[in-house]
């Protein structure tokens, strides 16, 4: 029984973690953004005029940071 638990722990430890703030696929043709200036910064340092533009470029809204004006 102990060997099974050790093997399971080793398997679980080898599963790679996924980065929840990794940039996804952009969807520029499917999203229309309003022109409201509320700048956000993506995890890679890219600045967008608002969260809609960042999401359209593939970023998850939870990963964005509001830029201080």
pLDDT per residue as tens digits for the range 58-68: 999 999 999 99
Residue 46's domain comprises 21-69
Burial (0-12, 13-18, 19+ Cβ within 10 Å), 42? buried
Residue 32 domain-assigned?
Answer: yes
Task: Tell whether 31 is covered by a domain.
Answer: yes
In a domain, 25, yes or no: yes
Query: Does residue 16 sit within a domain?
Result: no
- Residue 8 resides in a domain: no
Residue 39 near residue 50 (C-beta atoms within 8 A): yes
Residue 49 inside a domain? The answer is yes
Whether the predicted pLDDT of 55 surpasses 70:
yes
Q: What is the pLDDT of residue 6?
A: 66
Q: Kindly give the pairing relationship between strand 40-41 and strand 47-48.
A: antiparallel
Sheet holding 47-48, edge to edge: 47-48, 40-41, 65-66
| Between residues 20 and 65, the one the model is more confident about | 65
Residue 12 scores a pLDDT above 80: no
Whether 58 maps to a domain, the answer reads: yes
Q: How many domains does the chain contain in total? A: 1
3-state secondary structure of 60: coil
Domain membership flag for residue 50: yes
């Amino acid at each position: 029984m102990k060997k099974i638990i050790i093997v399971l722990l080793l398997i679980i430890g080898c599963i790679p973690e996924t980065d929840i703030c990794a940039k996804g696929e952009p969807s520029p043709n499917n999203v229309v953004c309003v022109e409201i200036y509320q700048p956000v910064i993506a995890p890679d340092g890219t600045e967008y005029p608002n969260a809609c533009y960042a999401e359209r470029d593939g970023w998850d809204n939870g990963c964005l940071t509001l830029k201080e004006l």
